[in-house]
Amino acid sequence: MRVVVLTGAGISAESGVPTFRDADGLWEGHRVEDVATPEAFERAPGVVHAFYDARREALDTVEPNPAHHALARLEQALGDDLFLVTQNIDDLHERGGSTRVHHMHGELRSALCLGCDAHVPWPAEQGGLGDLPPCPRCGSCALRPDVVWFGEVPYGMDEILGHLAEADLFVSVGTSGAVYPAAGFVQYARAHGARTLELNLEPSEGSHLFHDARHGPAGVLVPEWVDTLTRRS
Ligand code: BV8
């Protein structure tokens, strides 16, 4: 059985990573357009760097939770029949044991060079806000956070759509279904014949688009679902 799993901020909530739209969510403290758009970076790079530096530092204070570990077990069980795509820029899937994770919105621990388009590890030592070392590949001082901002095309859309079109089962975990193109994956998978399942704390904006939905904390729902699936397969 070919399975595509899409995850969002909700899968990392129980690890202590704030989601976006919850009361004290990431977007609460900042207007999206002030921190997550290329225009914002052009206008005030320091503000944008501060936003991502804070999230990067917070990564060292959190650990993967049972939902991340369960998806790593699923990867063991299904091998290449599992395609895991995440909207999250944290590294909790990898620290939970998943080895093949497609970060469609980028990664906090990565930098993107505007000079040569290289994706390089985020430099360990960096001076004050934003005065980053030159690109290790081309030497130009043009590194930026390697995240996909609003108005930018997510990474690897062709590969993602390819897996969605071949999927027997599409499962969405911990996402509000408010941001496109990820919010459109359920319809695309369904249109290509896949069964669709939502695992979320509460009904998402696209909940009505799924065949099945289970609501509750991912740290409980995902291990339960993985155990059922792996027992069956
Ligand atoms: C693009 C990286 C062109 C940075 C992010 C169509 C209609 C309308 C608008 C658009 C449209 N198409 C495009 C747009 C514009 C825009 C968009 O969607 N705007 C929205 C606001 C309407 N989209 C774009 O600009 C995208 N680019 O479209 O380019 C294109 C595209 C394709 C092909 C060709 C051209 C780029 C979007 C990416 C932006 N970058 N992140 C960063 O992280 O700082 S988006 C960011 O916000 C996240 O990555 C994620 O995608 C989104 C947040 O959503 P969630 O992860 O779902 O988090 P949220 O807090 O909303 O919800 C959490 C959920 O978890 C809740 O439901 C909650 O109930 C649940 N939960 C909470 N706790 C738990 C839980 N569930 C289980 N257990 C728990 N314990």
CB distance 109 to 59 below 8 Å: yes
Average pLDDT along the chain, 233 residues, taken 10 residues at a time: 97 93 63 87 91 93 98 98 98 98 98 96 69 88 95 98 98 96 98 98 97 98 97 68
pLDDT at residue number 27 = 59
| Shared domain check, 214 and 160 | yes
pLDDT at residue number 141 = 87
| Shared domain check, 201 and 164 | yes
Average pLDDT of the chain is 93
Task: Give catalytic residues, as residue numbers.
Answer: 105
Nearest CA to ligand 1 atom 52: 179
| Shared domain check, 43 and 101 | no
| Shared domain check, 94 and 120 | no
Residue type at 224 in one-letter notation: E
Q: At which of 147, 166, 198 does a domain end?
A: 147
pLDDT at residue number 25 = 61
Domains of the chain: total: 2
Residue type at 113 in one-letter notation: C
| Shared domain check, 174 and 74 | yes
- Domain range for residue 32? 18-61+107-147
Give the separation between CA 112 and CA 118, rounded to whole angstroms: 6
CB distance 80 to 119 below 8 Å: no
| Shared domain check, 111 and 87 | no
| Shared domain check, 158 and 55 | no
pLDDT at residue number 28 = 58
| Shared domain check, 116 and 39 | yes
pTM: 0.96
Q: Which atom of ligand 1 is nearest to the CA of 35?
A: 44
Binding-site residues from annotation for Zn(2+): 113, 116, 135, 138
CATH classification at residue 113: 3.30.1600.10
CATH classification at residue 219: 3.40.50.1220
pLDDT at residue number 184 = 98
| Shared domain check, 233 and 122 | no
